[in-house]
Amino acid sequence: MAHDWLRPRIRHGITALCPFRTRSTAGGGQIWSPVFVPKERAEMRRFLALAAKIAVSAALLYVAFARVELSTIGARLQQANISWLVALELALAAQLVLAALRWRQIALQCSAQFTIPSAMRYVLIGWFFNQTLPSTIGGDAARVWLVSRVGAGWKPAAYSVVVDRIVGLAVLAVIVIVCMPWLLDLVRDPLGRVSVVLVNSAAIVATIVFLILGQVHWQWLDRWWIARHVAGTAAVAFKVVSTWRIASVVVGLSVAIHLLTIAAIWSAARSVAAPLEFWQALLLVPPVVLVSTVPVSIAGWGVREGAMMTVFSYAGLLDSDGLIISILYGAGLFAVGAVGGLVWILGSDQRIGTTGPSDREPEERH
């Protein structure tokens, strides 16, 4: 029979693509089940995480564009003022410099030594992986690898990047709290008010709990690899925020970075003549940025657009303006990331993910 000849060949072809084994069932039959080694499981998890992020971004962008007239959006984007778009890019460039200075200041507390030009190059390359490629590597992981390969080691490199990220989010949450009375006056929608309060409260509570973990000394935390490193990272973060000299520099740079984000988005609004005043951007942008940091999409695409449209509608502004502004801001980030790609390609850091002679292997998990 033809199927008797074809069946073993199909089985052989499938087995060549993926290792399978025969497993007996309760009824006495046999079925095939794939055999995944730990490396293959990790690769599968990364692939599924990437696929989920792409799906979330695509779905949210579809919902956002379905709410507006596409022809109107296209016409306004074509008429964007170039001068204001240049101002947007300049604000992002200045933000990159300040972000590198903040990260280096934090890295010094983790015993990770690198120069300011190196910090700027690493941040720029990180933006490339964050904004330009739908990669599972990510900008933060790229920064960790770039620092570890110059002799700092994996642990100090990872701690510095995590603390840098958390400090930035904590300062952003504080900015939202400071602006809360005026924000609640601008946002009249009850659901919008509750959403802003809940999101910001969650960020503040998470930050406080994280800092507390750096001060407690529970022995059960040492039993798990991830718990030990969370506690260690929290201890570094507490050191940064509790030392006045360091905290004043880091917090000052963080505030300036967030103000530049607001200025960049306001410049995007001015480029298409959207009726967004700077004081309105000062109140509305921080909550949007806070929501956009949730790692459920590709470089914040979709989440940022939906959040921008939502806060605009809550504030009585056109949600279509929010979508246009978010697209222009995302395009600006993409452009900066492209420059980071050139720096990566033309530099000596091309092989992200390989092990160099100066690398220190991560601590073994227990």
Q: What is the pLDDT of residues 147-170, one digit of tens each?
A: 888 777 888 888 889 899 989 988
Classify residue 243 by its DSSP letter: S
Cβ distance 306 to 265 under 8 Å? no
23 has a pLDDT exceeding 80: no
| Euclidean distance between CA atoms 341 and 110, whole angstroms | 27
| Euclidean distance between CA atoms 271 and 283, whole angstroms | 20
Q: In the block, which residue shows the tokens 């190196």? A: 118
Which pLDDT score, from 0 to 100, does residue 359 have? 40
Task: Return the closest-CA partner of residue 343 out of 144, 118, 107, 85.
Answer: 118
| Euclidean distance between CA atoms 227 and 112, whole angstroms | 22
Residue 32's DSSP bridge partners are 22
pLDDT per residue as tens digits for the range 314-356: 888 888 888 899 999 999 998 998 888 888 888 765 554 444 4
**In a 3-state reduction of DSSP, which class is residue 179?**
coil
Please, what's the b/e burial string for 20-34 (b: 16 or more CB within 10 A of its CB; e: otherwise)?
A: eeeeeeeeeeeeeee
Please, where are the H alpha helices in 179-243? Answer: 180-186, 190-213, 225-242
Q: Enumerate the domain spans of the chain.
A: 84-346
Q: Name the range with the highest mean pLDDT among 180-184, 219-223, 281-285.
A: 281-285
123 has a pLDDT exceeding 80: yes
pLDDT band at 137 (very low <50, low <70, confident <90, very high): low
171-175, 218-222, 285-289, range with the lowest pLDDT = 218-222
- Cβ neighbour number for residue 128 with a 10 Å cutoff: 24
Task: Return the closest-CA partner of residue 160 out of 221, 239, 222, 228.
Answer: 239
33 has a pLDDT exceeding 50: no
